[in-house]
Every structure is written in structure tokens, then in C-alpha cells.
Amino acid sequence: MISTINMLKDSGSGPGGGDERSPMSMETDTEREATPVVVLPGDGIGPEIVAATLRVVEAAYPHIDWTYFEAGAEVFRKGLASGVPRETIDAIAKTGVVLKGPLETPVGYGEKSANVTLRKLFELYGNLRPVRELPGLRTPYSGRGIDLVILRENVEDLYAGIEHMQTPGVAQCLKLISRKGSEKITRLAFELARAEGRGSVHCATKANIMKLTEGLFKKTFEEVAEEYEEISARHIVIDNCAHRLVMNPESFDVIVTSNMNGDILSDLAAGLVGGLGLVPSANIGERVAMFEAVHGSAPDIAGRGVANPTALMLSAVMMLRHIGAFEAAENIEHALFVTLEEGRCLTADIMRSHSPVTTDRFSDEVIANLGRRSASLRPRTYDALVLRPDLNGADVSIDRHLDGVDIFIEWGAEAETLGHRLTDVARGTPFKLEMISNRGMKVFPANGGQTDMVDHWRCRFVAVNGGGVEDDSILELLRRIGAEYRWMHVEKLQRFDGGAGYSRAQGEG
Ligand code: NAP
């Protein structure tokens, strides 16, 4: 199955620009039937900016059947740990389109983020965040023509939310990167570049340090890039990317990156064009698309009617294009640009010269400006963005080999004693203790360094006769260790097609 979503394309920014539109756009907005859309007003400033946005959309395009559902803080308070009730899930599954206010994530008491739950429930794997210079806003970057898209992988990585307290004083978060997930998001990046006539895609990773996780993302990107010869594909180390975004943001077109990197980079990029209150986003999956501002619920200004609804309005513009309401989307975009350009009615976060206005007053001004054209909005046209599920599926490993096992032990003394004792414990099993590391640094055999140890030891046992050990041998080793020490985690050291599927400790040969 091929799904399509109609996204923004700047006709002036590259090859393929011009006047073509996807077939959906051949219908005029007034001919269209009402489209059902689920609205999640959200938390904090959510209800205020959602109301302001819906008034603008209604004024430009009264053909949407909005239905309101709950998610977030109120739902958590009622005791539902996911923050997303079943009725909300069913409604989203049915309509496939969501306009969403920000949802608060409870801090410090176990509940998962309702945002992450929604993204995962509907496999919204692509978080698309266009960042461009807006008119009338003076920033240190004004006039530089920033116009880039950050594409953030949305469901994997550290946001898999698999965390454990491994000892009373040591916490662990699993960073999960799959080949399938990496292929889907990197392919989407190239399809996006193609649809918007953008010439380059940068893949930003920390593969130099996390060679297996971020390395897999980079490797997959490089493989997928071969199918898109017309688009320049480059890898950039994530910290260098952050630096270059600040120094030379106009040099980027599309940046594709893993979940956590993308979360941070997109907030940074929002800062370049005037702040979090201004950047929209789309969460894209094969059956559901969810549109929301990049910013959160801003509890510090909630309930005061001062929040800037621009980001959500621009998200609604993306949503209108997704459902094929191109005229209305363009009209709102122009009205918003005119409002920003004229600068008479702006919210406090962006107002410089007059008294700031309320969220509702800003919304009134955008409605009043519907029908006016902004000179600073370059003409745009749209191509269908193709979501391709035809993955290479190359994650089937052929040849496997077990090199050994890492056993994680909680222990409160120093490395030498532990090392010598574990060497003895392993005698008579098919394993020998190769090394012990503490927070990733090899500490046994001693390395001459001054590592500050904690009570969490990774003890690496390798198979003495070149591997091929059975699970029973691992269980016997564990039984012996468990008789003397408290272990909390075991990880097999596997080799796939000859390549080690595990990292070495810092300082390990
Ligand atoms: P935030 O809500 O984005 O707010 C950070 C700051 O940005 C605010 O204090 C406010 O700054 C400014 N700001 C954000 N949106 C604005 C707007 N529309 N108009 C004007 N100013 C705006 O980030 P946070 O404080 O880290 O997160 C708050 C909650 O939101 C957390 O529970 C977090 O988990 C959640 N969150 C949800 C989403 C989502 O639903 N997708 C995304 C991010 C965070 P001033 O102090 O200058 O007023």
C-alpha cells in the first residue's frame, strides 16, 4: 500500500517547483464534504491556543466536523496511567486526523508521556518540523532566509521508555534503534526532499560514540541514500550540526535524526526564527496524521490568555493541506503572515513596539486579515509526500555466534577484589572473566586511571574455546555468581555475520 500526504513545497526553492498540485487539490475547498477531525485541547495553554486556532480555521474553511476528546493531565488525574482514554484512541483510529494541543507529562511519578503514547499507538514515526523565517519578527537571523525541515524519528531511541533502577543509586535507560525504524524515517526524509524540491538531506547522529545504535541509523541512511541519487546526502555529527545550525542555518534543507537528537535540535531551530511559540509540526504515520505545535503546555503562562497561537495555526495549515483544503490553508497562511508583518496585534512573546494583545485578539486579527495577501509569503505548490512501506527488510541476521556474556552486578567495594573472586568463580565453566567496567570504563584488570566507582559493575565473561556456548552454561555461571553477589542484568555478547554486536569498554583493547 502507498499512502500519500500532501505537504508544503516551496516552488521557488528547487527543481520541481511550479504550479503542479496533487490530484486532491483539483477539487475546490467549497465542493468538499465535511472532514472529521479529532481535537485534543490538551493542557496548560492548550485549550486557549486550540480555541483561537479553531476560530481561524472555521472562518476560512467551515467544512470540518470537529470532535473533542480528552488526553493528558486531566486523564492522569482520573487515574488512567496512559493519559489516553480508549474513546480517544478509537476516535483517532476512525478519523485518522488529529489537531492537538500540548499535553503535560507528569514528572517524577512513573506515568508515561501521553504524547509519546499517542505517537507510539498510531506508529506516527515521522515528526516533521518545518522551521522558516517569519515576517515582521526581528531575530539575530532576520534576512538570512532560514527555511529547513527537521525530521525527527518519533517512536524509538531513548523514548522507548525502558528504564530500570539497576541499583539503588544507578538508573538505566535503554536506547533502542531498529533498522526498520531507521529505514522508515530516512526514506521519509528523502521523499520529503523530493516532494518539496529540496536538494539536500543531512543525517545528524552521534555514531562516532554510539557506534551500534546511532551507527545503525547512519548506516541505514547511507544505504537508503543510494536510491535517491538526485538528492545530496551527507552525514553530520550531531554536535557539529547544532553548532552549524547556530552559525549557518541557511545551509540546511532537511535534517533527519533520531528521537532525542531531533527533540533538542528542533527546539534550538525554533529559537533561530523567533521561539517555540512559532514552530508547527506534523506527526506522520501510514494511517494517522497528528498536527501540533512544537512547544509544550507552558504552565507558567496558562490561563492568562497571553499564549501565542501561531505555531498551532501553522500546524492547522499543515493539517488543511493534508486533508486537501489547499485554498483555505493558503488563505490562513497569508492572513497570518500579514498579521505578523504589520506587527500591530502580537502576543507578548513576540511583540516589540506596541502593547501585546491577548491570544483571542491575535486570532481576531488573523480572521480580519483573511483574504489579504502577504508579499513575504513566497508562492508555494504541493507534491504528494509518499510514505513507502516497501522496506528492504535487511534485519534478518544470517550467521550468529555467541562470544560470551556481560553480567551486571551490584557491589559496594573495589574492582580488584571483585575481579579476582569472579576469575575464581568462573573456573570450571566454559567462560573466563575478561574484564570489568564501571560506568563504561574498564577498571579490571587495573588501568592506572582514577575512575570514581559506583556500585554497578559490568563483568564481561568470554567463552574460553572460541564461543558456541549453550544457555545452560550461562545459567550455571549465573547460579554461581548469584550465590555470592547480587546481579541485576545479563546481556549476551552476540556476533552477527562476523561483526561484534556489542561495544567494548573504554580502555578495553
Ligand atoms: P514549553 O511548554 O514549551 O514552554 C517553555 C517556555 O516557552 C514557556 O515557559 C514559555 O516561555 C514559552 N512558550 C512555549 N509556548 C509558548 C506559546 N505558545 N506562546 C508563548 N510562549 C510560549 O516547555 P516546558 O515548560 O519544558 O514543558 C511544559 C510541559 O509541556 C511539560 O509537561 C512537557 O512535558 C510538556 N510538553 C508537551 C509537548 C507536547 O504536547 N507535544 C511538547 C513539549 C513539552 P516564557 O517563560 O517566556 O513565557
What is the pLDDT at residue 376? Answer: 87
pLDDT at 23: 34
Residue nearest to atom 16 of ligand 1 (CA): 277
DSSP-derived 3-state class of residue 160: helix
Residue 175 annotated in active site: no
Q: Do residues 132 and 310 lie in contact, with contact meaning Cβ atoms separated by under 8 Å?
A: no
Residue nearest to atom 32 of ligand 1 (CA): 104
Q: What is d(CA 16, CA 11) in angstroms, rounded to the nearest whole number?
A: 7
Mean pLDDT throughout 102-115? 78
pLDDT at 349 over 80: yes
Residue 307's Cα: distance from chain center in Å?
Answer: 24
**Ligand 1 center–CA 465 separation, angstroms:** 56
pLDDT winner (highest mean) among 78-87, 485-494, 499-508: 485-494
pLDDT tens, 450-495? Answer: 788 999 999 999 999 876 788 999 999 999 999 999 999 999 999 9
Q: How many helices (H) and strands (E) does the chain have?
A: 13, 20
Q: Note if the bond before 130 is cis, omega within 30 degrees.
A: no
In the predicted model, is pLDDT for residue 13 greater than 60? Answer: no
CA 102, 108, 111 angle in degrees (round to 5)? Answer: 60
Domains, the chain, ordered by start: 400-500 (3.30.70.1570)
The string of DSSP codes covering 419-466 is HHHHHHHHTTSSEEEEEEEETTEEEES--S------SEEEEEEEETTS
User: Which mutation among 301, 314, 336, 361 tests ligand 1's pocket best, with the greatest number of atoms within 8 A of CB?
Assistant: 301
Confidence of residue 26 (pLDDT cuts 50, 70, 90): very low
Q: Residue 109 — pLDDT band, cuts 50, 70, 90?
A: low
DSSP string, 251-289: G-SEEEE-HHHHHHHHHHHHHHTT-GGG-EEEEE-SS-E
**Sheet containing 499-500: order of strands:** 441-444, 431-438, 456-463, 400-410, 486-496, 499-500
Comparison of pLDDT for 30 and 428, the residue scoring more: 428
Query: Is the pLDDT confidence value at 16 over 50?
Result: no
b vs e for 158-186, b when ≥16 Cβ sit within 10 Å of the residue's Cβ? bbbeeeeebbeeeeeeebbbbbebbbbbb
What is the C-alpha to C-alpha distance for residues 430 and 434, in angstroms, rounded to an integer? 13
- With bands split at pLDDT 50, 70 and 90, how would you rate the model's confidence at 238? very high
Q: Which residue has the higher pLDDT, 229 or 276?
A: 229
Torsion, Cα of 339, 334, 301, 108 (10° steps): -160
Quote the pLDDT of residue 106.
76
Burial 459-497 (b: 16+ CB within 10 A, else e): bbbbbeeeeebeeebbeebeebbeeebebeeeeebbbee
Give this prediction's pTM.
0.86
In the annotation, is 206 catalytic? yes
Residue 83 Cβ < 6 Å to ligand 1: no
Residue 362 has pLDDT above 70, yes or no: yes
Examine the pLDDT at 14 and tell me if it is beyond 80: no
Q: What pLDDT, on a 0 to 100 scale, did the predictor assign at position 269?
A: 94
Show the cell assigned to 330: 493558503
Mean pLDDT of 148-156: 95
Average pLDDT score over residue span 11-15: 29
Confidence of residue 193 (pLDDT cuts 50, 70, 90): very high
Q: Is the CB of 104 under 6 A from ligand 1?
A: yes
The pLDDT confidence band at residue 19, using thresholds 50, 70 and 90, is very low
d(CA 36, CA 57): 14
Distance 412 CA to ligand 1 centre (A): 41
pLDDT at 421 over 70: yes
Q: Using the atom order of ligand 1, give the atom closest to the CA of residue 113.
A: 34
Lowest mean pLDDT among 103-107, 293-297, 370-374, 488-492: 103-107
Helix, strand or coil, per DSSP, at residue 129: strand
45 Cα nearest atom in ligand 1: 18
Q: Which of 176, 162, 269, 160 is nearest to 214 (CA)?
A: 176
Report the sign of the C-alpha dihedral through residues 272, 273, 275, 279, in that order: negative
**What pLDDT, in 10s, does the model give residues 315-338?**
999 999 889 898 999 999 999 999
Give the Cα separation of 243 and 248 in Å (integer).
8
Is any atom of ligand 1 closer than 6 Å to the C-beta of 349? yes
Residue 189, pLDDT above cutoff 60? yes
Does residue 363's CB lie within 6 angstroms of at least one atom of ligand 1?
no
Ligand 1 center–CA 54 separation, angstroms: 20
CB 418 within 8 A of CB 133: no
Give 291's pLDDT tier (boundaries 50, 70, 90): very high
What is the band of 17 on the pLDDT scale with cuts at 50, 70, 90? very low
Distance in Å, CA 338 to ligand 1 centroid: 25
Question: Residue 85: its pLDDT value, please?
Answer: 96
CA of 406 to the centre of ligand 1 (A): 41
Cβ–ligand 1 contact at 201 (below 6 Å): no
Q: In whole angstroms, give the CA distance from residue 441 to residue 415.
A: 12
Say how far apart CA 156 and CA 181 lie, in whole Å.
7
Res. 447 pLDDT band, cuts 50 70 90: confident
- What is the Å distance from ligand 1's center to 296 Cα? 3
Closest CA to 436 of 370, 505, 384, 502: 505
8 A C-beta contact, residue 102 and residue 42: yes
Give just the sign of the alpha carbon dihedral 255, 261, 266, 271: negative
Task: Pick the catalytic residue from 206, 349, 364, 382.
Answer: 206
> Over pLDDT 90: what percentage of the chain?
74
**Residue indicated by cell numbers 535507560:** 173
d(CA 374, CA 303) in angstroms, rounded, equals: 32
The set of long-range contacts for 169-172, using a CB threshold of 8 Å and a minimum separation of 24, is 169/454, 169/455, 169/456, 170/454, 170/455, 170/456, 172/489
Say if residue 263's pLDDT is above 50: yes
The 3-class secondary structure across 227-251, one letter per residue, is CCCCCEEEEEEHHHHHHHHHHCHHH
How confident is residue 112, by pLDDT bands cut at 50, 70 and 90? confident
User: What does pLDDT average to over the chain?
Assistant: 89
